[in-house]
Amino acid sequence: MTLKPDVSLPDKIDNFIKYCGGFFAAGYVILIGVIILQVVLRKGFSSGMIALEELQWHLYAVGVMFGVSYAQVTNTHVRVDLFYHKFSPTTKCWVEIFGILFLMLPFMLVVFIHSLDFVHEAWRVNERSDSPSGLPWRWMIKGVIPVSFGLLILATCSRLLRDVQHLRDSRRLSRSTLVKEAPHGS
């Protein structure tokens, strides 16, 4: 009987978000095809389509909105790093925890909560493009906001759990080092 390796909750969250990121990244292939088709129609036949132009915006928005949570779990997001790179790993964890709890999560929760009403209203009135030949179902693209922010909240919670675990492990390691170095018997 072989034991399965213990997969932590942050690993499960990260793997789910990476899977979602890969799925939505495939939309960029579709986006490139739509852009090429629109350019050929506009330059070759002098007749671009409003629906294709709007579809470009929508596909790009989906890629960016879901790409943010992917960037969070892979730590490939943009970071303004004036002092952070000089900090010890423990100090970095404390900075991350502070930033997550007091800056990121409150902002993301506000956007998530307010986006629900935004999407509901668009769905209620069956919002569509202002252009007569534009895309219908504008509520669908607006629905990306709460879903993508939900994934971003999950990704951020995963990062928070990892930082707390790192602090716990470093504290445990430093205590065990102190016990080993303490003189035995007087």
What pLDDT score was predicted for residue 82? 82
Taking 70 as the threshold, does the pLDDT of residue 63 lie above it? yes
Domain of residue 94 covers 9-77+87-176
93, two tokens: 């964890």
Q: What's the Cα-to-Cα distance from 56 to each of 16, 80, 132, rounded to whole Å?
A: 26, 30, 17
117, two tokens: 């009403």
Residues 73 and 155 sit within 8 Å (Cβ to Cβ): yes
Q: What is the pLDDT of residues 33-57, one digit of tens each?
A: 999 999 999 999 998 899 999 999 9
**Between 77 and 122, the higher pLDDT residue:** 122
**Number of separate domains in the chain:** 1
Q: What is the pLDDT of residues 160-182, one digit of tens each?
A: 999 999 999 888 877 766 556 65
Confidence band (pLDDT; 50, 70, 90) for 106?
A: very high
- In terms of C-beta distances under 8 Å and separation of at least 24 residues, what long-range contacts does 115-118 make, across chains too? 115/142, 115/145, 115/146, 115/149, 116/146, 118/142, 118/145
Q: Helices 144-181 and 89-99 sit at what angle, rounded to 10 degrees? A: 150
Q: What is the pLDDT of residues 139-167, one digit of tens each?
A: 999 999 999 999 999 999 999 999 999 99
Decide if 2 is inside a domain: no
